Structure formats: structure tokens, C-alpha cells
Amino acid sequence: MDSKWDAWIDDALPRHSRLTPVVASLIESLLIHARISYLTVSHRTKDRSGVLEKIERKGYRDPASQLTDFSGIRIVVYFESDVKRVSDVIINSFRVDAENSRNREELLSVNETGYRSTHYVCDVGPARSILPEFEGMSDLKFEFQVRTILQHAWAELAHDRNYKLSNSLPREMERQLYLYAGMLEIADRGFDQLSMQIDNYAAKLASDSSDHLMMTNLDSVSLVAFVRRWCDGNGFELESSVERAIPSLLTELSALKIGTAGELNSIIPPSYANVATRIGYTTNIYGLVRDWMLIHDWRRLLDATAIGWTLGTDEECAMLREFLDAEDFEELGRRLDGFNE
């Protein structure tokens, strides 16, 4: 059936289809530049049926100005504090329509739990409107939706129209549903607080005296702090690496009865940094700490742990060749090859 909005949709749909991925790519670049970690940035452009359904459901008389989420970009972050940081990026980078933007949490009464999300309706603003990539799209509005992982989980569970939790439920079941929503909200805030505590702990370790750091028990935060302190003090340029596998290093250190930063410091060869400079050797935190352990007592390390790695390339083994005699190095290689067959 023809609609009186067909001409407007025919004009707007292709422009929004071009706008949405450009804005999504732009916000991803802005988040990376601001060093804000995020789970996903997704986007969608409403199709014709979706536009008409919303016009009818909301009773819009002027959809060109009232329908503000023709283009939608969803940003899912890890912690509540990240929502504020993302919000600041959006406010500083786009022209925000304050009247149509909202924090859904602020709409809840003090005795309510439920859908929480932050929404910003924007356009690209005057500075970007003159850029070629936004030609013909500067008058279009789009919506950012910013959620934490747990807010997103609740929204998906309770608001997906095809899912049973979104249906009208008996009173007691509905009460349980909202109790669980409250638990998610508490967990969300708890994880955020824990994240800030970890950041504060890392900052304290970075500023602690060397003596105090040496007495600190090794964990995923203090190990990284010690290695960075050692590298800075010895002019060793550490290669970047993802630090998710730090627990495996801690397991290996524990097998060598190394539990504090001072104990780790005691096994580092005094000439390690000088030799690395002489041969132009660099590595990441895993290669560095494993070099120290293998040089210290590779037999004990291999006997006490389940090794899931190999020696690597000749370049990666350069420091081991400097500190182990040829016979030991060859035996180490054979042992590791046997572990990984």
C-alpha cells in the first residue's frame, strides 16, 4: 500500500544508508584515539517497513524531524565509567540535539529497575558538513546508543520481541524478572568500582619506591608494573603485547618459587640489558620474563610446568644463546619440541 511518506523515505533512505557506516567508522576511530576500550560498535539503517512501523506506532505527523533514529549506532562498553567517557567524545565531536537525547536510567523512578542506556541524537555539525564524505548528508540526524555489557544483556533479554521474557508475565514472574534486573545493575556498578580499584592499584605501584615494589607479591598488575619499571631503568624497549596471558607467566614463576618482584629481580642476569643493547635484541613481556626464567633454571621450569610454547625463531632465541652454552641450548630445544609434539 502506498504511503504519503513514500517520497520522503525514497529521498532519505539512500542518504542514511551512506551516512550510517561513515558515522560508525568515525566513532570507532574517535574511541581508539581516546583510548577507550569497547566491546562492539554496530550500526543499522532502518528499512522502509521499519520507518513506516515507527511512524505509525509513534503517531508522527512530521517524521522528517521527529524520527531521529533512521540511522542508529550502538556502542557497547565494559564499565559504567566508560559510558561517561564515550558520552564526552560524542558531545565534543558531534552536534547534539539535547532535546531528543536522553539517559534512560534518569527516567526510572527511584524504586524501579529496568532498561538503562544513554542515547544521543546528533548531526555531523558545521565543521564536518563541508567535508566530501558528508556531502548531501549534513541535515540528517542519527542516534548513538551507549550501553555497558550488562545493560546490553538486559536489553537483549527483556526487549527482543521474539524472546519470551519480553511478553506479559504473571505478577510473580515479572517481579522476579525485575529483581534480576536489579542484580545486574548492582553487578554493573560493582565491576565498575573494581575496575577503578585495579587502576588505582596499578597507579600506586607505578609511583611506589623501588624497595616497596620489590616486596610486593607478584600478580597480573604488579608483574607488569615491575617489568615496565625494569625496562625504563635499563633502557630496554619492550615490544607491545596483549597482557591477557599474564596468568601463565605467574604460574611458571610460581613453579620456580618466585613470588615477589624482588625474587624475580634476583634471577635477572646483571648483564642482560647490556647484552640486549649490544645485539639489538627486543621482545615483549612474555619473551623477557621467560628469558629470565630459562636462563635461571630451565630444567626446573620444564620439569614443574606444562609448557605450551616453543623457543621460536633464531632471532627470538638470541638472548638464550648468549647466556646458555651450546649443549644446554640444544637440550632445551629438544625438550620443548618433545613437549609440543
Per-residue pLDDT at 341:
46
| Residue 339 pLDDT | 52
Q: How confident is the model at residue 107, as a pLDDT?
A: 42
The torsion angles phi and psi of 270, rounded to 5 degrees, stand at: -55, -30
Q: Which 3 state secondary structure label does DSSP give 119?
A: strand
User: Is the confidence at residue 149, as pLDDT, over 80?
Assistant: yes
Higher-scoring residue by pLDDT: 177, 187 = 187
**Would you say residue 337 has pLDDT above 60?**
yes
- List, for residues 227-251, the tens digit of each pLDDT value: 999 999 999 999 987 677 799 999 9
Segment 158-164 shows an average pLDDT of 56
For 92, the enclosing helix (H) or strand (E) is helix 80-93
pLDDT, one tens digit per residue, over 255-273 is 999 999 999 999 999 999 9
Quick: pLDDT tens for 20-41.
999 999 999 999 999 999 999 9
Give the mean pLDDT of 145-149: 94
Neighbours of 119 (CB within 10 A): 17
- Mean pLDDT calculated for residue range 11-22: 94
* Dihedral, CA of residue 322, residue 328, residue 334 and residue 338, to nearest 10: -110
Indicate the pLDDT class of residue 139, thresholds 50, 70 and 90: confident
pLDDT for 116: 66
- Give the β-pairing of 102-103 and 95-96: unpaired
Cα(261)–Cα(214) distance, rounded to whole angstroms? 5
Q: Which three cell numbers stand for residue 110?
A: 527511584
Q: Which residues pair with 271 in a beta bridge?
A: none
d(CA 45, CA 276): 54
Residue 106 or residue 255, greater confidence: 255
DSSP string, 184-207: HHHHHHHHHHHHHHHHHHHHHHHH
- The whole-number pLDDT of residue 176 equals 81
Indicate the DSSP class of residue 305. S
Pair 119, 102: CB distance under 8 Å: yes
Percent of the residues in the chain that have a pLDDT greater than 90, as a whole number: 62
> CA 308 → CA 4, 249, 339, distances in Å?
65, 11, 8
Q: pLDDT digit string (tens) for 27-86?
A: 999 999 999 999 999 999 999 999 999 999 889 999 888 999 999 999 999 999 999 999
Query: Tens digit of pLDDT for each residue in 179-215?
Result: 888 888 899 999 999 999 999 999 999 998 989 999 9
Distances in whole angstroms, Cα of residue 23 to Cα of each of 17, 63, 101: 11, 21, 17
Could you give the 3-state DSSP secondary structure of residue 123? strand
Q: How far apart are CA 306 and CA 304, in angstroms?
A: 7
What's the pLDDT at 183? 87
What pLDDT, in 10s, does the model give residues 315-333? Answer: 889 999 999 999 999 999 8
Q: For residues 299 and 302, give the distance between their C-alpha atoms in angstroms, rounded to a whole number.
A: 5
